[in-house]
Amino acid sequence: MKEQKKSKDEILDLTVAFVQDTLKDAESGHDWWHIQRVWNNTKHILQHEKADPLVCELTALLHDIADSKFHDGDETIGPRVAGEFLHSIGVEPEIIEHVQHIILNMSFKASLGEVTFHSKELEVVQDADRLDAIGAIGIARAFTYGGFKNREIYNPNIPAQLNQDKESYKKTTAPTINHFYEKLLLLKDKMNTPTAKAIAEKRHVYMEGFLDQFYGEWKGDL
């Protein structure tokens, strides 16, 4: 007997369970809570933008299922793991392929190289993910990852490297403050949708205020 097609809610419930289990020991900047925030951002953007909700939500849930920076730089493992899981629960092949293409092309580092795919769904999920990289949570995530990699907080003798190419960005070991100039402060102008652009403005200003406070304290302004 042919298996009955699953509803969107059933597919999402199975995906949530899979992601929660897979990422239960993940670094806290890329754990389930990051995924949930990106999922929530995605659903918020979808209230204002026209895109396929299932593709967007599945990608939001699975986009960091096997992040390349935790797998020796392998950028194919994430799309592969996501595809294998979605196939196992009977998701339609065209949806699986779309999700895989987005995962492969949505990251900031991917934008520094040749982007080989584009869709409205990619715009939505990319914005949702980028929003979680800026503002107060973005700051917290940056220092969490810097600590995880044992990087300096700041070193005034190591300048930020602007206009990096993809390989330079992937190999960086720079202090966390440099990451603001090499990525975080650039994201406001890289948002795709009007919804995300409006949210990004406020979060960008917050990061600028944080940096002003940081440098003041560093210099001994009491």
The pLDDT tens digits of the residues spanning 84-120 come to 999 999 999 999 999 999 999 988 877 777 788 999 9
Identify the band that residue 168 occupies on the pLDDT scale cut at 50, 70 and 90: confident
Q: What is the per-residue pLDDT across 179-212, written as a single tens digit (0 to 9) for each? A: 999 999 999 999 999 999 999 999 999 999 999 9
| pLDDT score, position 84 | 96
Distances (CA, A) of 35 to 1, 117, 124, 214: 36, 22, 14, 28
Percentage of the chain exceeding pLDDT 70: 93
Q: What is the pLDDT of residue 115?
A: 80
DSSP string for residues in the chain: -PPPPPPHHHHHHHHHHHHHHHTTTS-TTSSHHHHHHHHHHHHHHHTTS-S-HHHHHHHHHHTTTT-GGGTTT-TTHHHHHHHHHHHHTT--HHHHHHHHHHHHH-SHHHHTS------HHHHHHHHHHHHTTSHHHHHHHHHHHHHHTT--S--TTS----S--HHHHHH----HHHHHHHTGGGGGGG--SHHHHHHHHHHHHHHHHHHHHHHHHHTT--
pLDDT digits (tens, 9 = 90+) for 6-55: 899 999 999 999 999 999 998 888 899 999 999 999 999 999 999 999 99
Question: Using one digit for the tens of pLDDT, what is the confidence trace for 117-142?
Answer: 999 999 999 999 999 999 999 999 99
Using pLDDT thresholds of 50, 70 and 90, give the confidence band for residue 66: low
Higher pLDDT, residue 62 or 173? 62
Residue 214 predicted with pLDDT over 70? yes
> How many Å apart are CA 137 and CA 128, to the nearest integer?
13
What span, in angstroms and rounded, lies between the C-alpha atoms of 12 and 192?
25
Reported as a pLDDT band with limits 50, 70 and 90, residue 159 is very high
